[in-house]
Chain A
Amino acid sequence: MHRHFDEELTALRENLLTMGALVESMITQSSRLLDAYAVEGAAKIETNEREVNSLHSAIDDLCIRLLVLRQPAAADMRLIAVALKINGELERIGDQGINMLQRARQLDQPGERPRIDLGPLIHVARAMVADSLDAFIKKDVALARRVLEDEKSADSLRDQAVEVLLAEAEKRTYSFTHIVQQILVTHHLERIADHATNIAEDVIYFVQGLDIRHHRMD
């Protein structure tokens, strides 16, 4: 049976996807700026962040309106409940994109020596965000669970990067500021992976009604 409510739920999903595309783009662009800082790239990220913040408010408003006016149950209720949460996770991923932009600015100092390669960590964190959103749209629990597994890789890559950076700090091959900024970048990427993990957990609740957070299903 056709419901007008379904059109509103579709609009909600589409808004979340738009927001997801924006934050993915922010991660990609801020990662590039770590290698080669460019003013135009920075401006693009800041524009994206304003759009993300605007969508964050709009999606919250839509969710609250649907909760109040439609009084949803079952799968409809679960969709709106997780949309509220995913909305918050995406906004925070956007914040991490801005944080990475600030690190890129700090690292863009004349005479600085080459940086260590954070490519694998960047790749995993970005893929986790993309996969978690893909799992949400496709209601793909297997993919969501893969994101949960990927968090371990993200953590390992972060630990390895920090280890290398600390070793470099001992050797004094980089400035203290440089090391701190790079460690902060690894922290931002690890937080992005955490937010993607939270989205994947929300997807599992949305599809199966299972709350697996905090190892509740162990």
Chain B
Amino acid sequence: MPGNTPMTELVPKHLDSASSTAPPSVKIRVRRLNFYYGPTQALKNVDFDVVTNAVTALIGPSGCGKTTFLRTLNRMNDQVPGARAEGQVHLDGTDIHGPDVDVTALRRRVGMVFQKSNPFPKTIRENVAFGLRIAGIRDVFVIEEAVEESLRLAALWDEVKDNLDGLALQLSGGQQQRLCIARALAVKPDVLLMDEPASALDPISTGKIEELIEDLKSRYTIVIVTHNMQQAARISEYTGFFYMGELIEYGPTLKIFTTPAEKRTEDYVTGRFG
């Protein structure tokens, strides 16, 4: 992993006080991860530590492997025919590729929000409750409580509380995306993976999603893929730059955007890549 910063130096400056000199705790530890789509290698020997309760941004040109990497963190790529992963991905110390791992349970702990909002053609309430019902929860009061809490966490409650039985597809694009975040939060995940969650939204809706991410990071570990480098700089504490399947550089966002160690990172963040 060329150019990577040792973990002990990864603490953002605003947290680097005398009271928090311990290295940050690692939620997901990735070692020597290789990933293949049939004969094509999409990830090459990636080592990566996702820090707990922080936002980690993944940047890089199209096709560099950042979305593939994101999707390996909750085994979403398992569904791709011919896809194959090698190496280790440990969530809180447990190998997610282990034989005893329940992939559905893994995806509850490691939720995902996609580029295009994808609410079900159901009511707002049913969208949020969906994951709970799949998990076998039937208690109406428990579900109602979870629906409200999730919508509040997703900063959507005030906008939809009087219309919970309205159709989700009638919400605006930004509201639909926040509904998808609420749906992911309802099953109480530890980690949220976000694949360009604001790329299809207008600046106001994007701003709301970014504010939401900042609010959520104290409770969740967030990994976000974004093509918007200003967005990565605004919302993340750590940034990883991928290029042609390799993790070129990973470190505190401030360092990546002010004094990157690798020339390829410098060229990318300054728009010199050609």
Contact = CB atoms under 8 A, between A and B. Distances in A.
A73 B233 contact: yes
Contacts of A1: 272-274
Interface residues of A, number: 13
A78 interface: yes
A74 B229 CA distance: 12
Interface in A66-122: 71-78
Contacts of A176: none
Interface string A143-173: 0000000000000000000000000000000
B230 interface: yes
Interface in B227-250: 229-230, 233
Contact of A74 (B230, B270, B273, B274): B270
Contacts of B229: 73
A3 interface: yes
A191 B66 CA distance: 52
A1 B234 CA distance: 26
B259 interface: yes
Given A209-B258, A209-B259, A75 B273 contact: no
Contact of A75 (B233, B270, B274): B270
B269 A74 contact: yes
B257 interface: yes
Contacts of A71: 230
Contact of A3 (B233, B258, B265, B271): B271
B271 A74 contact: no
Contacts of A5: 271
B260 interface: yes
A77 B266 contact: no
A77 B258 contact: yes
Contacts of A78: 258-259
Interface of A: 1, 3, 5, 71-78, 208-209
Given A74-B257, A75-B266, A78-B259, 11 more contacts: A1-B272, A3-B272, A71-B230, A73-B229, A74-B258, A74-B265, A74-B266, A74-B269, A74-B270, A75-B270, A77-B257
Pairs A-B, 4 closest by C-beta atoms:
A1-B274, A209-B259, A73-B269, A73-B257
